[in-house]
Structure 1
Amino acid sequence: MRFPRFRLLVLLAALSLLGACSFRPTTTLYRLDGGDPAIPERNGMAVLLGPVTLADYLRQDTLLVQRHEDGSLSTARNARWAGDLKADIDQLLLRQLAWRLDSHRLVPEPGAPGFKPDVQVQLNITRLDSGPKQPAVLEAQWRLLDRQGRLRESRLIRLEESHQNSSADQVRAQSVVLQRLAEQLAAAIQPLAKQQTSAPAPEPRKTARAAAPKVEKKPPQVPDIPIVSPTRDVEVFRF
């Protein structure tokens, strides 16, 4: 009778395991919405995007971070990012900037061999989160460098977007603030594009040097040689 009991125990264990799995909540995967940017039509200015850095709490794992009213953070139980969050942010910004600047010449950091950017965008995202009762908030700082590596602009920015509390709408709101970030970045880059494409100012003409006064050449002086005059009253003797 031992074998029937053993089989019964195995069957009960299998049924309990299947029951536990059936009640386990499913996890939903999300990706950022990059909007519907148009494909650029020309080779505009060359832009190097990066490095783009994220705050440490955004690089821990792929879980969707939730912010609460007291400022504490937690992770959503049933919501995850479908992939690497930083890679999604890079692609969203790259496509948005290419569309708004109308240029194919946008390359993510570290760039490509021989690629010489007109502008480099350095971006540090210090906050990107939301919560059931907290709006989506983006806090970041960007730095724009010109072709010579000189700092042309540095700006701190904070953007907010409300949502309907669900995880799906929170992801939508976070996508919106990132798209607005790309819009403001493009507006800051465009004046630099005009400076890069403008013709260089003509060099001032060199003033001609004042002509030296002409010095009249004097004829060579003839040395004063005494002239021998014929002598008079000279007697000539002949032999």
Structure 2
Amino acid sequence: MSALRIPLLLLLTGVLGLSGCVSFQPVPLYKLDSGNPGVPAQKNGPAVLLGPVTVADYLQRETLLQRQPDGSLLPSSTGRWAGSLSADIDQVLVRQLAWRLDTQRLVLAPAASGFTPDVQVLLNISRLDSGPQQPAVLEAEWRLLDKQGQLRDSHLIRLQEEHLGTSADQVRAQSLVLQRLAEQMATTVQPLLKEPPVAETPRKPAASKPQKAREPAEEPKIPMAAPVRTDVEVFRF
């Protein structure tokens, strides 16, 4: 009997393993869509530095999170990101901003040494998510620095887009709010690029210290003659 049990157990194990393989289905992978931005025509356009771009910690993962009606977040069982969501966000913004500002001189921070931006865009994304019954929502803040590194503008924004509830349509909606963010950022950057460069105020030469009047040279002192002693006693014999 024991000899018959071993083949039977092996057969059952094989059947269960085969059924598991048959029922397994790969999870779809998604990437953000950058839309249809054109290629910038100006190779020598304005120099723009995008970044640092900071993304909320909860988005630093490959899991496609689903916003629930009570505000909580759950990992999706029907999809995940195809790689880093932060890298996807960077690429969408770079392509959209370069196209809208018509410049090929837009780089992502940190820039190479020697690159001097006319404008720097600092961006913080604090929210980008959706759910089966919740719209896609993006919340962000950006600041603009001029060539001298001075703060010139600051904006807070909240964008929302409805969808059909599926994972694919949620990703579409999130891509749209990110493209709209790039559009509004470009609108605030353009006036700053059109401003004439601020001329640097020439530095005044340091005032030279007035030279002291030269004192007349002292006349050489003539040594005084020492008096000859006349009180020498003379002895006579």
Structure 1 moving runs of 4+ over 6 Å: none
Alignment length (residue pairs): 200
SS at match of 2:136: strand
Q: Residue 235 of structure 1 corresponds to which residue in structure 2? A: none
Stretch deviating more after TM superposition (138-147 or 21-30) = 21-30
Q: Offset at 1:99? A: 0.3
Stretches of structure 1 that go unaligned for 5 or more consecutive residues are 204-239
| TM-score of the aligned structures, taking structure 2 as reference length | 0.80
Distance in 1, Cα, partners of 2:8 & 2:113: 68
2:67 aligns with 67
Are 1:172 and 2:172 matched, yes or no?
yes
* Residues 1:25 and 1:74: Cα distance change in structure 2 (over 3 Å): same
C-alpha distance in 2, partners of 1:199/1:186?
A: 19
1:125-144 superposed matches below 5 A: 125-144=125-144
Shift of 1:2: 4.4
Deviation larger for 65-74 or 6-15? 6-15
Tell me by how many angstroms 1:158 deviates.
Answer: 0.3
TM-score, normalization by structure 1: 0.80
Look up the SS of the partner of 1:65 in the other structure.
strand
Deviation at 1:6? 1.8
Distance 2:3 2:105 in 1: 73
Q: How does 1:46-57 map to 2 (within 5 A)?
A: 46-57=47-58
Question: What is the identity, as a one-letter code, of the residue corresponding to 1:44?
Answer: G
The residue number in structure 1 matching 2:11 is 11
Match of 2:102 in 1: 102
Distance in 2 (alpha carbons) for counterparts of 1:99 and 1:7: 67
| Aligned-partner Cα distance in 1 for 2:184–2:177 | 11
Alpha-carbon deviation of 1:189?
0.3
Secondary structure (helix, strand or coil) at the match of 1:57 reads: helix
CA distance in 2, matches of 1:119, 1:3: 80
Q: For 1:63-121, what per-residue CA distance to the aligned partner results, in whole angstroms no more than 9, with x for missing partners?
A: 11111111111110121000100000000000000000000001101011211111111
Structure 2 runs not aligned, ≥5 long:
202-237
CA distance in structure 1 between the partners assigned to 2:50 and 2:198 by the alignment: 26
Measure the CA separation in 1 of the matches of 2:173 and 2:138. Answer: 10
Q: How many angstroms apart in 2 are the aligned matches of 1:174 and 1:124?
A: 16
Bigger Cα Rg: 1
Distance 1:58 1:199 in 2: 39
Question: Helix, strand or coil: the match of 2:107?
Answer: strand
Distance 2:6 2:178 in 1: 59
CA deviation vs aligned residue, 1:178-232 (integer Å, no higher than 9, x gap): 000000000000001101xx3667x9xxxxxxxxxxxxxxxxxxxxxxxxxxxxx
Counterpart CA distance in 2 for 1:77 and 1:199 is: 53
Matched residue, 1:194: 194
Rounded Cα–Cα distance in structure 1 between residues aligned with 2:141 and 2:59: 16
Does residue 32 of structure 2 align to residue 32 of structure 1? yes
Contact 1:130 1:170 in 2 (8 A): yes
What is the SS of the residue equivalent to 1:93?
Answer: helix
Q: State the superposition RMSD in angstroms.
A: 1.7
Cα distance in 1 between the residues matched to 2:153 and 2:141: 11
| Percent of residue pairs identical | 61
CA distance in 2, matches of 1:68, 1:177: 19
* Aligned partner letter, 2:88: D
Distance 1:53 1:160 in 2: 20
